[in-house]
Structure 1
């Protein structure tokens, strides 16, 4: 029954059986079968069907609200009861580059005020973590801001902006990023990721022709590939990637610089527990932490 309810919620959120199936990993016929089973169990239809289209009816609207409550309660079955010391389980998804930096500082603050709280951090790419949050398997996600719209029942909290730079092998001559990006083999940020889509849009906007060599989703891998002399890469330069390897240097993109925004995606206040709001505040504090001054570089 719970699977049918989750599928029903997905259809209502994404508009069609096909779109819901794509988001939750089911075929359109499997989604249709689950909705039929749900209606048979309930004893009434939740959609009015006309030809190939299905529209949520009045009974479906009432069922949707109840289904969301049931699924939310089901998701919390594994949590310990909350008490004055905030015992329980907080499930956070986070992209890899934030875990040793922003997340570590935020969790240090959270643990000081909630020492009995258990925290589980799930790694993943932004798209998958966004789907996990939508499915209710995590409570919040620290991800790259989606390049498309955010579902109306979710809220976005911006934290940091990271500028994209061109990572170049240290022994490759030249200072013109536009020339180098077209002349050297191009190490591409995976186009299936949010960050990679930003790179693709930038290349199209700037009308740049590149010679694709390697495509990978890990930013450290792109930087180290450049350090090995395999090509150049457009990468977001965040604190997790500093200091850079000795074999690589970076060039700023000047007026063409674009950024990736990292933030917290969570359910709107009515669907959150107090500890999620407290974690969000810890993230804000961690993002506002003054960065240490860089040591002056000696010049010859």
Structure 2
């Protein structure tokens, strides 16, 4: 709640959600989300939302003094407890395939460079993790590159690209990939994920109609279904992905497409310098 209280006082100081966000490094939507979360936690509204300005209601005006006192008390507690820039908590979001690959060596390097800092890994899908970085709930996240432009406050760093292949039962390895897509049951990478959208776009580009039988987001689970003979699937060759001997990965030749894995972080904020340090470790 401390983050929300800081944002609340910024709104009070600068007069609107947009102005507060511009001064503390958040988008207007992120400020609005934090204020809604604060109001839900408190159980009552703080603002009169009838106009464009962030006008405090009676409860909101009373809350200002309490918020200032709470933040002041926390600051004194931190100083007396010896908390310094050499210690803290870094919240790192990560898609499932990144947790077992890129994050392991990065965390080890970061721990050697900043032993006083703790890391909390928050799992999730790319879209949700991106929203959490934007709202300030997490500091940095390893995700699939979004199919849309990022807010100006966020920074994108490319880690790697992963080519998509057609995962098929080994007995079908001699059949052209296009024919397999047309004739075999299709295990679809969840269309709500950024990676699944890439698959959907590819199928439209090559003008192939598939016969969906299952749709899920977990890549290793998709490969497991292929191994059991349920169907074929377009999957990225992720660093942590393991193909059993019963599964063959067919390349797509000149039609190969990729998913870009990268790090999204904020330009500004209390944790910006440590987030940049963790980025360097990745």
The match for 2:235 is: 235
The match for 2:56 is: 40
The match for 1:280 is: 279
Alignment of 1:151-162 (within 5 A): 151-162=151-162
Which consecutive unaligned segments of at least 5 residues does structure 2 have? 38-44, 59-67
* Cα distance in 2, alignment partners of residues 119 and 231 from structure 1: 39
How far the C-alpha of 1:101 sits from its partner, in A, is: 1.0
* Cα distance in 2, alignment partners of residues 272 and 114 from structure 1: 13
How far the C-alpha of 1:126 sits from its partner, in A, is: 0.4
Conservation of the 8 A alpha-carbon contact between 1:175 and 1:251: no
Conservation of the 8 A alpha-carbon contact between 2:186 and 2:214: yes
The match for 1:105 is: 105
The superposition leaves residues 114-138 of structure 1 with CA deviations (integer Å, 9 ceiling, x where unpaired) of 1221100000000110111111110
Alignment of 1:172-251 (within 5 A): 172=172, 174-242=174-242, 244-251=243-250
The one of the two structures with greater contact order (alpha-carbon pairs below 8 A, sep at least 6) is 2
* Cα distance in 2, alignment partners of residues 82 and 280 from structure 1: 23
The superposition leaves residues 86-128 of structure 1 with CA deviations (integer Å, 9 ceiling, x where unpaired) of 2110001000101111010100100111122110000000011
| Number of aligned residues | 241
Residue aligned with 1:171, SS: helix
How far the C-alpha of 1:8 sits from its partner, in A, is: 3.6
Residue aligned with 2:131, SS: helix
How far the C-alpha of 1:171 sits from its partner, in A, is: 1.9
Residues 35 and 184 (structure 1 numbering): CA distance in 2 closer, same or farther, change over 3 Å? Answer: farther
Tell me the C-alpha RMSD between the 2 structures: 3.4
Q: Normalising to structure 1: TM-score of the pair?
A: 0.71
Conservation of the 8 A alpha-carbon contact between 2:173 and 2:248: no
* Cα distance in 2, alignment partners of residues 12 and 265 from structure 1: 15
How far the C-alpha of 1:273 sits from its partner, in A, is: 2.9
The match for 1:297 is: none
Conservation of the 8 A alpha-carbon contact between 2:27 and 2:153: no
Residues 218 and 141 (structure 1 numbering): CA distance in 2 closer, same or farther, change over 3 Å? Answer: same
The superposition leaves residues 118-166 of structure 1 with CA deviations (integer Å, 9 ceiling, x where unpaired) of 1000000001101111111100111000011101110100001000000
Residues 12 and 95 (structure 1 numbering): CA distance in 2 closer, same or farther, change over 3 Å? Answer: closer
* Cα distance in 1, alignment partners of residues 93 and 259 from structure 2: 18
Conservation of the 8 A alpha-carbon contact between 1:81 and 1:88: no
Residue aligned with 2:110, SS: helix
How far the C-alpha of 1:253 sits from its partner, in A, is: 0.4
List 4+ stretches of structure 1 deviating above 4 A: 1-7, 9-12, 76-82, 269-272
Which consecutive unaligned segments of at least 5 residues does structure 1 have? 26-32, 43-69, 284-300
Alignment of 1:1-300 (within 5 A): 2=4, 5=8, 8=17, 13=28, 36=48, 38-41=54-57, 83=84, 86-172=86-172, 174-242=174-242, 244-269=243-268, 272-283=271-282
Q: Normalising to structure 2: TM-score of the pair?
A: 0.75
Residue aligned with 2:100, SS: helix
Residues 152 and 123 (structure 1 numbering): CA distance in 2 closer, same or farther, change over 3 Å? Answer: same
Residue aligned with 1:83, SS: coil
* Cα distance in 2, alignment partners of residues 262 and 81 from structure 1: 38
